[in-house]
């Protein structure tokens, strides 16, 4: 800390710079780390209080509170490393029935989780999405819409829900500051760009972008096709998606960025 002291012993104003070390921690990064965790905890607290969206149910409501967690959303309970190099953003996590039926957790044998694990493993991230365990593995999972819809997993989403959640999405990226952000699907990608004041880009064009888009200093966002069974079977098979993820692998490990 710097303090400027005025010296009255001379006629002209003289400022002496003095250093105060008594408040300096032994680990210079300790306060920074504490701040990151505190910022995240504050963001989670804000999410729990949010009731802006009509048609969504916050997991913190009285009826569901016993299944909620101290993470920003259900998906982050699986992997939520605040020092992650890679953040993966999905559109939304699921509906109320799915949340209740699985005790607030994911059904880990679903095709999306299996395919995403294969894609992550293909770029050198040795992580399991088939069990809950250690979260400090360099991966942060989240959704553009944090609360729960009704009507089934394939129920449509309202555009206003995505808009209302932009602040939460942006804040998560600012707190974690991953090297790479991967958005699964057009809507998650569009929301991320809007959160940082950028114009939308068609998914088919974004997939061809090998460099990604820098949204913060040292943070690049990439679009990817969703890896659920429907997309894999109809639009983009797993082999092609693995090829798409090679550019993400390069951004993660290259010294160029």
Please state the φ and ψ torsions of residue 175, each to the nearest 5 degrees.
-75, -50
CATH of 30-253, one of 3.10.180.10, 2.40.160.20, 3.40.50.970, 3.40.470.10: 3.40.470.10
Token representation of residue 116: 């995403």
Bridge-based pairing of strands 219-224 and 86-92 is unpaired
Token representation of residue 46: 């804000």
Tabulate helix, strand, coil % of the chain (nearest 5): 40, 15, 45
What one-character DSSP code corresponds to residue 200?
-
Instruction: Output the pTM of the full model.
Output: 0.86
Per-residue pLDDT tens listing for the chain (257 residues): 433 333 344 333 333 322 322 333 344 334 555 699 999 999 999 999 999 999 999 999 999 999 999 999 999 999 999 999 999 999 999 999 999 999 999 988 889 999 999 999 999 999 888 778 766 789 999 999 999 999 999 999 999 999 999 999 999 999 999 999 999 999 999 999 999 999 999 999 999 999 999 999 999 999 999 999 999 999 999 999 999 999 999 999 998 87
- The span from the CA of 32 to the CA of 148, in Å, is 33
E strand residue ranges, 24-129: 86-92
Angle at alpha carbon of residue 181, lines to 76 and 164, rounded to 5°: 65
Using alpha carbons, select from 37, 3, 38, 4 the residue that is nearest to residue 23.
Answer: 3
- How do the domains of the chain map onto residue ranges? 30-253
């Amino acid at each position: 800390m710097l303090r400027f002291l005025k010296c009255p012993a001379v006629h002209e104003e003289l400022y002496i710079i003095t250093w105060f070390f008594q408040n300096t921690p032994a680990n210079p990064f300790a306060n920074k780390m504490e701040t990151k965790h505190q910022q995240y905890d504050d963001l989670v607290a804000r999410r729990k209080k949010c009731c802006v969206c009509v048609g969504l149910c916050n997991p913190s409501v009285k009826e569901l509170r016993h299944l909620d967690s101290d993470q920003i959303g259900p998906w982050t309970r699986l992997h939520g490393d605040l020092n992650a190099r890679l953040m993966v953003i999905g559109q939304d996590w699921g509906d109320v029935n799915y949340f209740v039926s699985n005790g607030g957790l994911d059904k880990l044998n679903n095709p999306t989780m299996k395919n995403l694990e294969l894609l992550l493993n293909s770029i050198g991230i040795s992580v399991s999405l088939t069990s809950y365990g250690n979260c400090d593995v360099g991966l942060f999972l989240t959704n553009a819409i944090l609360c729960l819809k009704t009507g089934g997993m394939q129920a449509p989403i309202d555009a206003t829900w995505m808009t209302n959640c932009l602040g939460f999405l942006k804040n998560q990226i600012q707190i974690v500051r991953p090297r790479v952000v991967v958005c699964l699907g057009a809507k998650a990608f569009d929301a991320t760009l809007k959160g940082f004041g950028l114009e939308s880009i068609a998914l088919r064009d974004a997939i061809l972008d090998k460099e990604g888009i820098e949204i913060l200093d040292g943070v690049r966002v990439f679009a990817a096709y969703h890896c659920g069974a429907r997309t894999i079977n109809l639009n983009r098979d797993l082999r092609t998606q693995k090829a798409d993820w090679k550019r993400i692998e390069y951004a993660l490990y290259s010294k160029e960025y």
